[in-house]
Amino acid sequence: MPSQFESNTNIRLIPASQFSIDELTSIYNQTRVDYMIPMPMNAARLAEYIEMYDVVLERSLVAMEGETMRGIAMLGVRADRTWITRLGVLPSTRRSGVGEALMRGLLDQSAQLGVEFNMLEVIKNNVPAHQLFFKLGFYEVGELLILRRPPSNHSYELAIADARRLERYEALDLIGYDRGTQPWTNQSESLSHGADISGLYLTLRDGSRGWLAYQRQKFTLTHFIYKTEAGDPATMAYAFLSHLHHQYPRLDTYIENIQANDPHLPGFYKMGYVESFRRIEMWRGSPPASLVSK
């Protein structure tokens, strides 16, 4: 692969692999200083993000003007699909074609891999980015919620259930089957790269049953993947969340990209979860049969 890509402007697109993690972190944070949701990162978090979401730095791009970094965009690569993420342009450089050049560069990288299905998310009401993605052939799939539940004295009743803790290998085995086309962050590959993965399997008195897989970080519970195998999804969500927070009452909880039409959501709200913001999920091309059937 060449070490440099030419855009239609005086901006050069350089593979992100030619920069250090510290340099990539710095330019990413500079592009987000005035965003609606800035989401700053440090180098350790960015390195974890790259590994967890299969970001390929050789296929990701940094926009350069002379010796100055003007923007960044990253490409996640999995079988039959790619994901565009961390797109950002310096505030002083926006509306000059840099964002479009980065996007076209990543789509070209995807095409070089022979991949025709591309995924991304855009923060709701980020109109310029939203319109750019439409221009490049993306279409809306649905809305995604980012939910949080801070540590609190929220009053709730522990659901009566037969609850069994799932070891890492058990949780990872469950998340690989029959969940349809999920947002990139919630696909089975994402959780399989994470540390401290475990889960819960619950059976209620009426025979309802379901499971939750999650990642426990030092101060936070995150990366939830779950399924109701039998019974009402809202009831099952309340049941496995009540047991989870009974076990970890002092941990903050932050989960991303829950589909807005998810029938489990009433159970989350009953447990004190609140919506932080929304994203719009967008696709380009048709999802491959191998992904839909998972």
- CA–centroid distance for 75 within its chain: 13
Both ends of the chain: CA-CA distance in Å?
32
For the record, the structure tokens of 17 come out as: 């692999």
Q: Quick one: 152 and 278 in the same domain?
A: yes
Do 91 and 214 share a domain, yes or no? no
User: Residue 226: which domain range?
Assistant: 147-282
**Number of structural domains in the chain:** 2
Per the domain annotation, does 173 fall within a domain?
A: yes
Whether residues 153 and 260 share a domain: the answer is: yes
- Same-domain pairing of 43 and 111: yes
Residues 213 and 110: their CA atoms lie apart, in Å, by 31
**Last residue of some domain: 116, 137, 163?**
116
Tell whether 151 and 278 lie within a shared domain.
Answer: yes
222: exposed, middle or buried (C-beta count within 10 Å: 0-12, 13-18, 19+)? middle
Structural domain contains residue 187: yes
Q: Residue 151 falls within a domain, yes or no?
A: yes
291: in domain: no
Angle at 126 between CA 117 and CA 287, to 5 degrees: 15
Mean pLDDT along residues 143-164: 91
Does the residue 294 lie in any domain?
Answer: no
21 and 109 fall within a common domain: yes
> Do 153 and 98 reside in the same domain of the chain?
no
Q: How far apart are CA 47 and CA 25, in angstroms?
A: 9
Pairing verdict, β 81-89 and 118-123: parallel
User: So what's the pLDDT on residue 286?
Assistant: 93
- Let me know whether 112 and 151 are in one domain: no
**Higher per-residue confidence, 95 vs 206:** 206
The encoded tokens of residue 150 equal: 């801070």
Among the listed residues 75, 79, 25, 73, the one whose alpha carbon sits nearest the alpha carbon of residue 55: 75
Query: Given pLDDT bands bounded at 50, 70 and 90, which one contains residue 156?
Result: confident
Judge whether 90 and 248 are in contact, CB under 8 Å: no
- The CATH number of whichever domain residue 102 belongs to comes to 3.40.630.30
| Per-residue model confidence as pLDDT tens digits over 167-208 | 999 999 998 866 778 999 999 999 999 889 999 999 999 999
Same domain, 97 and 166: no
User: Would residue 128 count as lying in a domain?
Assistant: no
Residue 105 CB-density burial (10 A; 0-12 exposed, 13-18 middle, 19+ buried): buried
130, 93 Cβ separation under 8 angstroms:
no
* DSSP structural state of residue 157: P
Is residue 244 pLDDT above 60, yes or no? yes
Based on the fold, state whether residues 63 and 174 are members of the same structural domain. no
The answer as to whether 139 is a domain residue is no
Closest CA to 293 of 12, 137, 79: 79
Confidence of residue 1 (pLDDT cuts 50, 70, 90): very low
Do 172 and 275 lie in one domain? The reply is yes
- CATH number for the domain including 261? 3.40.630
Rg, Å, the chain Cα set: 20
